[in-house]
């Protein structure tokens, strides 16, 4: 949904890199997205000289392999579950990302999409056939 900031209303686009497990974020003015105009799309990224993450116009980022390296992952982790998604809970005023970490179902939360993110273990999966904690959660999704 569109979120306001000092520059207007934005539509946020969640993408992924590195085998679809590193979530990255872009945004485009809502009215421009409705017109299919992506000239002002921005990415949550870091570029020289400061390397501090902030919104950068996509065409100002480096090309080639350096483009992917300039994108900053969201969710407070470098890797997350395949097809992970991010949701907003208006009652709590929080963004959240459910994911698996070993044998735990973890909920990451933040007041803004760009973080900082906190981590909460919401369930620990009991052992099955062995003491191994090597679990894989595919396409973990939030359900009301």
Mean pLDDT of 80-104: 79
Q: Report the C-alpha gap between 124 and 121 in whole angstroms.
A: 7
pLDDT of the residue at 1: 46
**Two tokens at 29?**
């003015």
Lowest mean pLDDT among 100-104, 120-124, 135-139: 135-139
For the cut 60, the answer to whether the pLDDT of residue 129 exceeds it is no
Residue 142 φ/ψ, nearest 5 degrees: -85, 145
pLDDT of the residue at 19: 61
The residue among 44, 133, 136, 30 whose CA lies nearest residue 83 is 136
Better-scored residue on pLDDT, 26 or 4: 26
Q: Report the C-alpha gap between 94 and 111 in whole angstroms.
A: 5
The pTM of the full predicted model, rounded to 2 decimals, is 0.73
Mean pLDDT of 48-71: 85
């Amino acid at each position: 949904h569109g979120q306001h900031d000092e520059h207007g209303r934005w539509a946020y686009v969640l993408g992924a890199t590195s085998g679809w497990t590193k979530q990255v974020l872009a945004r485009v003015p809502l009215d421009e997205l409705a017109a299919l105009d992506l000239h002002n799309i921005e990415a949550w990224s870091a570029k020289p000289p400061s390397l501090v993450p902030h919104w950068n116009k996509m065409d100002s980022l480096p090309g080639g392999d350096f483009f992917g390296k300039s994108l900053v992952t969201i969710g407070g982790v470098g890797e997350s579950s395949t097809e992970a998604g991010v949701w907003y809970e208006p009652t709590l005023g929080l963004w959240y990302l459910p994911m698996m970490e070993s044998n735990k179902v973890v909920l990451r939360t933040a007041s803004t999409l760009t973080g900082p993110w906190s981590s909460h273990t919401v369930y620990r999966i009991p052992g099955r056939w062995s003491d191994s904690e090597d679990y894989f959660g595919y396409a973990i999704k939030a359900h009301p």
